[in-house]
Structure 1
Amino acid sequence: MVAPPLTGAQEPRPAAEEGARPVTEPVLVERRGAVQVITINRPEAKNALDGAVAQAVAAAVDELDGSDELRAGVLTGAGGTFSAGMDLKAFLRGERPAIEGRGLCGITQTPPRKPLVAAVEGWALAGGFELVLACDLVVAGRSARFGVPEVTRSLVAAAGAALFLPRRVPYAVAMEMLLTGRPIDAERAAAVGLVNRVVDEGGALDAAVELAEVVAANGPLAVAATKEIARHTADWTAEEGWARQQELIEPVFSSEDAREGATAFAERRTPVWRGR
């Protein structure tokens, strides 16, 4: 569950060079080539989400979308846990881990335009699980556990799980998770289609970066338009879907990158994308 939101987000910061920012920050942001890695850095609190984390994640995804060099992102947690959800101590101090109009950590209502991959080790619970649902792809270590325990405390998973989990997995599976509050493990999550890849414990981040690099190698305009269509298709009627898709793909098909893709194929070389 997420309580009433904060207002505003930090101004986007310039992308970091290779390597992480200082370890004292609640969120670390690292660049690995064209992939941005966002790490929730509160391992002593199981990466519980407070106001500082929310502001920093929102700033990081703004940076991701605003950079011509970054093509995809990875969201993870430090210390072997993805996130245990909202920090209740911070909540009692009046902090809220959400951004007005954008949702939890600035991504559950308005995910970034560019693809985001979750790299999950250990627990992804409550709000932490809802951050996973805000991502487009999920890589999990074998120890990962996914859960929506809100009903066990007479709360509602209001940051996206109740809305979006039934779209990501079969309805019966979603309802069992939502209504019992019991978690599922990585293998079960993969079997029901929530997780793309299960890897050895400790390997989720590297595998997620590898997957993000495959995405990042593709035409950025085409990737962004494809994500936009896929995200909204459940909300469109069939007729509306064709019309909205046409609006989104027309600039892509007429772009320099589209011509470059065809030319590179004909010349048997790697395309050079310019994002225009």
Structure 2
Amino acid sequence: MSAKVLVEREGAILVVTLNRPERRNAIDRETSEAVAAALDTLDADGDLSVAILAGAGGHFSAGMDLHAFAAGERVELPGRGLAGLTQSPPAKPLIAAVEGYALAGGFEIALACDMIVASETASFGLPEVRRGLIAGSGGLVRLPERMPRAVAMECALTGRTIPAAEAERWGLVNRLVAPGGALDAARALAAEVAEGAPLSLAATKRIVAEAGRWPEGELWPRQNGILERVIASGDAREGARAFAEKRSPRWTGT
């Protein structure tokens, strides 16, 4: 694993840390590849239920590494996007732990996560229009899904910075915590999530993420197809046994 990305296992939780503090955790090709590899591990390992994505050095991420881009480096991964994430998020839940800046592509990376835990001093924004660009890593698609459309439009068209308290008010941030506390709060939230079965978590995430775009006549067949695979799993039987035996379940991810 690249030194630009640190990966730690904490039981059923995988903690992935962008580790380029000297660049405010800007994303170059090597960083994208390392994050993608970590998230592949998350999805492939039945002992892992949820991941946290954080940034080292007091900031989440300033987005694409413009120095690498200017040098001709292809920062995004084909089919996966910036940080190997924005076009193809993992099947299992992913929580962003945001301190400091989450700007431009850094904000788009946070939006590609399922939940955001933020410090009171964190700030978010898509300033691309001020640089003659557009937020092309999913921000313009996901932001209106996470806050009122008119507010998302204002933020995207002005490129203004969104303080953490305002982001929480619009429902963009799940939990707002004291400065320096985002990662610990994300760990606490991840521990709550990890009490669920990995297959159930992934199936639930998929339905929540996709159902709004399913054609009306296909909603129930598509949901039931996902549900049937979960019901037929060993973890579904284990959950029932654990309930009957009044004990904690032992998930296997199968």
Q: Normalized against structure 1, the TM-score is what? A: 0.89
Gaps of 5+ in 1: 1-12, 14-23
Q: 2:6 aligns with which of 17, 28, 36?
A: 28
Q: Secondary structure at the match of 2:145?
A: helix
Query: 1: distance between equivalents of 2:16 and 2:233?
Result: 30
Q: 2:202 aligns with which of 224, 230, 236?
A: 224
**Corresponding position: 1:48 with 2:26:** yes
Cα offset, 1:87, TM superposition: 1.1
| Counterpart residue number, 2:235 | 257
Query: 1: distance between equivalents of 2:239 and 2:48?
Result: 19
Amino acid across the alignment from 1:113: A
Query: 2: distance between equivalents of 1:187 and 1:207?
Result: 16
Q: Secondary structure at the match of 2:250?
A: coil
| Counterpart residue number, 1:117 | 95
**Corresponding position: 1:201 with 2:179:** yes
Query: 1: distance between equivalents of 2:122 and 2:3?
Result: 24
- Once the two structures are overlaid, the 10-residue window that deviates more, 64-73 or 178-187, is 64-73
**Corresponding position: 1:103 with 2:81:** yes
**Corresponding position: 1:156 with 2:134:** yes
Gaps of 5+ in 2: none
Q: 1:237 aligns with which of 215, 218, 221?
A: 215
Query: 1: distance between equivalents of 2:247 and 2:237?
Result: 14
Query: 1: distance between equivalents of 2:169 and 2:147?
Result: 10
Q: Secondary structure at the match of 1:218?
A: coil
| Counterpart residue number, 1:168 | 146
Runs of 4+ residues over 3 Å off in structure 1 = none
Q: How many equivalent pairs are there?
A: 254
Cα offset, 1:238, TM superposition: 2.3
Kindly, what percent of the aligned residue pairs are identical?
A: 57
Amino acid across the alignment from 1:137: M
**Corresponding position: 1:186 with 2:186:** no
Give a deviation string over 1:114-161, Cα, whole Å, max 9, x none: 100000000000000000011001100111000000001111000001
| Counterpart residue number, 1:16 | none
Give a deviation string over 1:18-47, Cα, whole Å, max 9, x none: xxxxxx811111111111111111111111
Amino acid across the alignment from 1:37: V
RMSD after superposition: 1.2
Cα offset, 1:254, TM superposition: 2.1
Query: 2: distance between equivalents of 1:28 and 1:41?
Result: 6
Q: Secondary structure at the match of 2:108?
A: helix
